Structure 1
Amino acid sequence: METVLEVENLAKSFKDKDVIQDISFDVRKGEIMAILGPNGAGKSTTIRNIMGIMYPDQGSISFQNHREIPRHKIGYLPEERGLYKNVKVMDILLYLAELKDYPLKKARERALQYLKKFDLEGQENSSVEELSKGMGQKVQFISSIIHEPELLILDEPFSGLDPVSQELFKQEIRNLAENGTAILLSSHQMNLVEEMCDRLFLMHQGQKIIYGQMDDVKEEYANFKCTIRSNNDLQQLEVLPQVERVERDDDTAVLYLAKDVEPVDWLKHLPDSLSIQELSIDRISLHEIFIDIATGKNLIGEEGAVRA
């Protein structure tokens, strides 16, 4: 798969504090790549270096093997929204398209198509300040893709959206990827990231923690857990074979299993004395992996990387 963006050995510090250190990853054509991490991990600094808002102290950023980043080929939805509030929706979309050297006639056609798609038909002459927060978010999203970018950077794109609008965004992001756009997505909504993204780069305190295919990351780092609803003695659960830790809340217990446990075989060895009203087994979620990195809950093993 063609590499669109390549980040190599990026480092940046402020006042002798290392914000990012030796960051390397790539984003490929037609994929959705997640860049994740707790607040202060260095995600925004990395994105701002890619966008040329600031410059790294060391390392390199290349677009299709060229050091010069062509701004007209990149779309960017920043976390901090910044549309001109007293400007009409169509005027601001055409203005931003013109800044990207995109044909205005085509931009107008695309703007009308997207306004209709995002349930904003008839709002082209409304000023941004007349729109609700969610409607303004849709306009900002349209502004980031109106010029058909080859690389799209989305920083918290689902913030402030209701569930229906989230679905619209998810479907459009998937459509863009299917049509060849390389997408770098940053979000704290781990369920959406897990559902949508092909690969991920998880960082903490400015350094790489996990980098690889989503499925490979889940298999490598996300051990199985078993959830049992019933009133069992905690000690009875803790001594079950291959159980590393138990968390209980009222009548529900979550058993975190050792790595390489085969769930079917493990279930066969549960004692008959165990009370079970409901039982489910699944892998630790990306959300739990994220919490583990941020808090050190020790749900996963040693840091590292899987096949990227």
Structure 2
Amino acid sequence: MLTVSNLVKSFGDLRAVDGVSFEIEDGIILGMIGQNGSGKTTIFRMILDFLTPEEGGKVNWNGEKLGNNLYDIIGYLPEERGLYETMTIEQQIIYFAQLRGMQKNDIDNKIDEWMIKFDVKGTRTDKIKTLSKGNQQKVQLIATLIHEPKLVILDEPFSGLDPVNAELLEQGILDLKEKGSAIIFSSHNMNNIEEICDKLVMIHHGKQLLYGEINEVRESFGRTFIYIETPDWTLDELKELEGVIDVKETSKNQYTLKLEDASYGEPLFKTISKGEYLPKFSQQPPTLEEIFKMKAGEAIHE
């Protein structure tokens, strides 16, 4: 289990990280969300012991200080990708895996399996510089994960991936989860977080705004959103209904209603349906994207 306690880091007058704490148990995926410059990469660098936390901040793995002594259990994909272009695929993967304590024969036996898993276009003897950017990224992911690390840290791993390759990466992450790895990744895409993460930590200007299990975080804001499909109501008519504070038309005949309070859901269903069939009526808590906008706005005005 990874335990992060009161991480603080300043650069001159800039407080880049200010009191961040969370835990990731074995077999759990935690998503870290926040805008560019919010402090996510700085947090990762303190976890990895590249930067030293201030004011007594601690990073422990199973109760032991996480540092060079535990380097081999970690798989880290930095936001700034870096491969040696003149190496072949197999040379690159073997090089990084050996740095993490694997034997060459063990690595060699797994390369084909991992290339198939991530659908790498090319052969293991192709040079990195001949690959597309997407395939280069997949090779680096393989180099990060092939030693099946107990702790996986991925900084914006979905950046630049098309939906098909993003799904391959998701499956790779889930496979490691099934084997008991503790996984943390950052992403601008809230959908990625909602789809595969168990927990989240939300960072804004270095401060931790939210932390917890995703469903619990969402439910804590109440079921104040209704998603409907109806040909019988207009946008303006829906806006006039009691308890509705905002309406958006997402596509033809489909609307998202924001409520003053979740208790308005049942009477609104009766009013909108008029006792007839509705193709869609779903009352839900706000999405992570909506929650982030709310919490970031509150932080700005504090």
Q: TM-score, normalised by structure 2?
A: 0.87
**Which residue pairs with 2:238 in the alignment?**
237
Distance 2:112 2:235 in 1: 62
Distance 2:243 2:5 in 1: 40
Distance 1:264 1:297, change over 3 A: farther
1:210 Cα offset (Å)? 0.9
1:264 Cα offset (Å)? 3.7
1:194 Cα offset (Å)? 0.3
Distance 2:246 2:122 in 1: 56
Distance 1:106 1:271, change over 3 A: closer
* 1:34 is aligned to 2:36: no
Cα RMSD, aligned residues only: 2.7
* 1:256 is aligned to 2:255: no
**Which residue pairs with 1:18 in the alignment?**
15
Distance 1:54 1:292 in 2: 31
Distance 1:147 1:227 in 2: 44
Distance 1:260 1:46 in 2: 36
Q: Deviations over 1:159-179 (max 9, x none)?
A: 222222111111111111011
Q: Deviations over 1:101-134 (max 9, x none)?
A: 1121111112221012222375211111111111
- Report 1:198-277 matches (<5 A): 198-221=198-221, 223-227=223-227, 232=234, 234=236, 236-247=237-248, 253-261=255-263, 263-270=265-272
Distance 1:125 1:156 in 2: 28
Q: Deviations over 1:214-259 (max 9, x none)?
A: 110111125332345556363x434423223334579765320133
**Which residue pairs with 1:67 in the alignment?**
65
- Report 1:126-141 matches (<5 A): 126-141=126-141
Q: Give secondary structure in 2 for the equivalent of 1:221.
A: coil
1:209 Cα offset (Å)? 0.8
* 1:50 is aligned to 2:52: no
**Which residue pairs with 2:194 in the alignment?**
194
Q: Give secondary structure in 1 for the equivalent of 2:116.
A: helix
Distance 2:39 2:91 in 1: 34
**Which residue pairs with 2:292 in the alignment?**
290
Distance 1:126 1:233 in 2: 56
Q: Deviations over 1:27-67 (max 9, x none)?
A: 11001111111122111110111112222223111111101
Q: What is the percent sequence identity of the aligned residues?
A: 36
1:292 Cα offset (Å)? 3.2
- Number of residues paired by the alignment? 293
Bigger mean CA deviation after superposition, 260-269 or 218-227: 260-269
Distance 1:79 1:258 in 2: 40
8 Å contact kept, 2:235–2:248: no
Distance 1:63 1:96 in 2: 22
1:151 Cα offset (Å)? 0.2
Distance 1:121 1:277, change over 3 A: closer
**Which residue pairs with 1:281 in the alignment?**
282
8 Å contact kept, 2:17–2:206: yes
The one-letter code matched in structure 2 to 1:246 is V
8 Å contact kept, 2:225–2:256: yes
Q: Deviations over 1:62-118 (max 9, x none)?
A: 111101421111000111111111111111111111111112111111222101222
Bigger mean CA deviation after superposition, 10-19 or 62-71: 62-71
Distance 2:22 2:89 in 1: 36
